[in-house]
Structure 1
Amino acid sequence: MKKIGLILIGLIMLLAVVTLVRAQTLTERTSGKILLQVEEHGEAWYVYPLDGFRYYLGRPDDAFTLMRELGLGVNNENFDNFNGKAPERLAGRILLKVEDLGKAYYVKPEDLSLHYLGRPLDAFNLMREMGLGITTTNLMQITIAPLSQTEGFVDCGQTEINGEEYKVGLTCINQKFAICQPATYLATVDLGEFGGLVSYEYKIIGLEPGGCLMQTQYIQNPNPEWIKKKLVCHYDNTATLSEAHGEVFDRLWGEKIIGNCTGELAAILTAE
């Protein structure tokens, strides 16, 4: 029995090593490339050559900002010496011409050609055109950047929908939602004679296949049976949080389809 136990332990360790090697190999093969999550909604990810992490590109403005943050500054003389083709060491990098208004160029890993990124939408479309399709299973083998995975939750505040702070809180939670970064946000609206105060809490748990895993609940509601009844669903983070939330509620309450949702509120919404 002891011998069998040792054999089993050895096999488990071997499988762990094989999995690690595969992940490392996949990360190396995709270094500097744009990956498109073909089994979901075509979400785009950038594998940064310097750390091997994958960064979620989100919407055009988000992608453009991220690319510039990860970019490498070069002067005009060095850039001109490339003659349209960067050296191998810069494969997959984003180059910023610091002496020419910070213009950004992407070095395509396959042939080291330089591609001007221009405006956010142009850059986003170009990156997607050069993207490489990848399955969700393979994508999950590449570690998400710390930007997309943080310990604890960012507090985006508690705001009234008609208040001045609403835009600040909404901007915060939408930014976190775009990359599925753990965060919380409490929105309150006064419905007046139609129901009084309604408060709804959004909690981004993290990234899952299919989008962001969300936990939401009513803190205040005219219907006491709905208060603090949790709803856990996958939200499509290619849209804004409010749009994604609307789609979930339409499916649950309007179509009575529970889909990938769980929790007491999901049962309540689909039952009525």
Structure 2
Amino acid sequence: MSETSVITSAADITCVGIIGSGIMGAGLVEVAARSGRSVVLRSRTLEGAEAAVSKLESGLARQVDKGRLDADERDAILARISTTADLADLADCDLVLESVVEDLAIKKDLFRDLDAIVKPGAILATNTSTLPVVELAMVTSRPDAVVGIHFFNPAPMMKLVEVIRPITAADAAVSTAIQFAEACGKDAVEVVDRAGFIVNALLFPYLNNAVKMWEQGTASIDAIDVAMQGGCNFPMGPFALLDLVGLDTSVSILEALYDEFREPNFAPATTLKRMVVAGHLGRKTGRGFRTY
């Protein structure tokens, strides 16, 4: 595919496909639908996709009750959303953004399938937080049309989007992705395709070092959290944030950083690895560095 065949403007993106009905996928559906575009949410089961839309509907209803959203706009947002369990229903999308499990092999298989299904010229994007986008691009026949569009959780609230440029990407694909993010009301920054991109490459060594500091007995978990909130004006301390992100996710990101850069600072702290083995993953399991 030549560079000129890639969609060159976000104005040409009228239909967005979202793959994955978890918290992030549901958030991406809301963001895209609010931008005025038709959205097709694909989950492995139709029940999963419909459940995600049902939660979104409840969330929008609460916003209407609080006066933050007009009822007519709520209805318009929901009317733009359709659900499916069939990848083939994404064939006519102008942009497809996946947010499935952070497993490179699974994502590669997905991109192979999308490449065969989605119309020529459409952009295929990943919401990965740290995996190499170029590896996904190279399993397709359109590597110039594959980019990273990394939203942060919760997607409707967080302003930042990292647009990831693999070395294979066409300028048109990257600029269109940036325009799309901005049309969704986000602050888009362009980033080279390196593990962790900007935010995670800076954030997770900090979180990792907080765990190592506690392991060394410098201060308690509570003291470290209070210090970083009060001393750096952070909204939460490192241990609270680790529990929110998930310790398994945190270890995966650190391992990806270590695999790419081989810097000792990126090697996951021993306690993090042990807690993951024990199933103490943070808020999602009810127990991490604190009990919930």
* Pairwise same-fold verdict (TM > 0.5): no
More strand by share: 1
TM-score for both structures, normalised by structure 1 = 0.30
More helix by share: 2
TM-score for both structures, normalised by structure 2 = 0.28
